[in-house]
Amino acid sequence: MGEEGWFCRGAEECKAIAERLKQTPCPHCKVVGMLIRHGFLYGFDASARQRTVRAQRVFCSNRNRRRGCGRTFSIWFADKIRRLSLTTGILWRFLQRAVANNIAAAIRAVDCRLSDRTWQRIWKRFDLGQSKIRTALCGRCPPPELPPRLPANPKRQPAAQVLAHLEAAFPDAHCPIAAFQQTLGTFFL
Ligand SMILES: [Zn+2]
């Protein structure tokens, strides 16, 4: 969390951003006119059998005497979690269950192919990132006074507060985590 990125809602918006690349400054070197499409980043989503597009790669061209910086970056689909075979929807379900019950119950509930160890790691990443997530959310709205559901485990109280804050910040979103990435331009995990 904390690192900025470019996000799109889906293939159509991704294409629209890609078509404007020639007029867009490179996020690294700020030079305009050097960005070109550089293929897609594919991955498996935890529940899907097929590879899906996770991001459009972009290259700031320094080839053939072009003035770019030679670095690459990605336009991320906002409903994907980077470096994990995971959609934001599954992560949202997992976190809600992990907070309300416990991690073992949450793993059973989401029923996907990631190992228990991976889920433990995902929980840890979320746990460590909580304060950054909270700070990012505070830029959008204050935290709700009380979380709507008190967790069974009192240790989960801060995490319950973060999830309640996410819902308060994006009340109409299909998935609050995707809305977080898309709206705030920053990775959730
Ligand atoms: Zn550049």
Could you read off the pLDDT of 15-63 as tens digits, one per residue?
999 999 999 999 999 999 999 999 999 987 766 677 888 999 999 999 9
Instruction: Report pLDDT for 18.
Output: 94
Ligand 1 centre to CA of 129 (Å) is 29
End-to-end CA separation in angstroms for the chain:
5
- Listed in sequence order, the DSSP H helices in 24-152 are 88-100, 103-110, 116-138
Q: Within 10 A of 34 (CB to CB), how many other CB atoms are there?
A: 21
Ligand 1 centre to CA of 64 (Å) is 15
Q: What is the pTM of this model?
A: 0.88
Segments of the chain with pLDDT less than 50: 1-2
Instruction: Report pLDDT for 127.
Output: 94
Helix (H, G, I), strand (E, B) or coil at 68: coil
Phi, psi angle pair for 180, to nearest 5°: -60, -50
Instruction: Report pLDDT for 74.
Output: 93
Ligand 1 centre to CA of 70 (Å) is 6
Instruction: Report pLDDT for 148.
Output: 61
Burial of 19: CB neighbours in 10 Å, binned 0-12, 13-18, 19+: exposed
Residues 164, 146: Cα–Cα separation, whole Å: 8
Ligand 1 centre to CA of 76 (Å) is 18
Ligand 1 centre to CA of 21 (Å) is 12
Question: Looking at this protein, which amino acid is placed at residue 166?
Answer: L
Instruction: Report pLDDT for 141.
Output: 93
Residues 19, 11: Cα–Cα separation, whole Å: 12
Q: Both tokens of residue 136?
A: 């990012």
**Secondary structure (DSSP) of 134-147:** HHHHHTTSPPPSS-
Instruction: Report pLDDT for 3.
Output: 59
Residues 101, 153: Cα–Cα separation, whole Å: 7
Ligand 1 centre to CA of 5 (Å) is 15
Instruction: Report pLDDT for 1.
Output: 40
Ligand 1 centre to CA of 181 (Å) is 23
Ligand 1 centre to CA of 67 (Å) is 8
Query: How many residues comprise the chain?
Result: 189
Determine contact, residues 44/51, Cβ cutoff 8 Å: yes
Instruction: Report pLDDT for 149.
Output: 66
Determine contact, residues 97/149, Cβ cutoff 8 Å: no
Q: Which residues surround ligand 1, an ion (CB under 5 A)?
A: 26, 28-29, 60, 68-69
